[in-house]
Amino acid sequence: MLTIENLHATADGKPILNGLDLQVNTGEVHAVMGPNGSGKSTLAYVIAGREGYEVTAGSITYQGRDVLAMSVEERALNGVFLAFQYPVEIPGVGSATFLKTAVNAARKHRGEQEYDAMEFLKLVKAKRAALGIDDGMMRRALNVGFSGGEKKRNEMLQMALLEPSLAILDETDSGLDIDALKIVADGINALRAPERAMVVITHYQRLLDHVVPDKVHVLAGGRIVRSGGSELALELESRGYAGLGLEPSAAA
């Protein structure tokens, strides 16, 4: 599904990724862990195509296509979803309106009939309850005044409705209390499917107690330095990055 080879990338001219390789197959959930400044978010942004992040070498192939040649929205419409670490506020735009616009853009792209307001509300109703999102939250302006937990749950709702082929979750667990973490984890697990792959970027092991990954990678200094099964996350948890010989400062 996703093949990254020898990826070098800069953010605002500063080299961040230095020869990263990653292979994610359909149906798999991969965790990417690493200390602060190791390049985790940069990896997510480069896959999604954010401006300001320049690929200087290497390749990203998704479903056999060269991702780097696609625009941001083309990637999204072809099933690449990024759950943001810091979801953006858009004043005056209702969450439901935003979501409907996004879902209809995808439907239009697939040549399907766009949902009208009633059909859409029905669809949302079925998905939002599991994430503990009430109608009131759907009416509020997107992410404006949302708590950290509300923002992340809203990201999960967007993911559930857009049904991506490849979901990249950028520190979705950060800033969540235990209850919210459980809700978000359940949301992720509900979307695990044989036709879908996920890359879960996280700093801590605790999300991985609930979302058990097929593979775990450790990112440091802009490269994957170790890969293993879910037990690698537990090893990291007990020994720390330093215990693996990865000083955060050295990694940056």
Note the residues at the interface with other proteins (CB under 8 A): 48, 50-52, 71-73, 75-77, 81-82, 84, 87-88, 90-93, 97-98, 101-102, 105-106, 109, 141-142, 158, 162
Cβ pair 8, 56 in contact under 8 A: yes
Cβ pair 157, 132 in contact under 8 A: no
Smallest gap from residue 201 Cβ to other proteins (A): 15
Smallest gap from residue 74 Cβ to other proteins (A): 9
Length of the chain: 252
Smallest gap from residue 140 Cβ to other proteins (A): 12
Distance CA 232, CA 227 (A): 8
Smallest gap from residue 187 Cβ to other proteins (A): 17
Question: Which of 95, 202 has the CB closer to other proteins?
Answer: 95
Question: Which of 109, 182 has the CB closer to other proteins?
Answer: 109
Smallest gap from residue 46 Cβ to other proteins (A): 13
Question: Which of 123, 225 has the CB closer to other proteins?
Answer: 123
Question: Which of 162, 212 has the CB closer to other proteins?
Answer: 162
Handedness of CA 23, 62, 151, 190 (dihedral sign): negative
Smallest gap from residue 245 Cβ to other proteins (A): 35
Question: Which of 87, 248 has the CB closer to other proteins?
Answer: 87
Strand blocks (E) in 100-157: 141-142
Rg (CA), the chain: 18
Cβ pair 155, 172 in contact under 8 A: yes
Backbone angles phi, psi at 132, to 5 degrees: 65, 30
44-to-9, 89, 251 alpha-carbon distances in Å: 12, 20, 18
Chain centroid, CA 68 distance in Å = 18
Cβ pair 9, 42 in contact under 8 A: yes
Question: Which of 105, 225 has the CB closer to other proteins?
Answer: 105
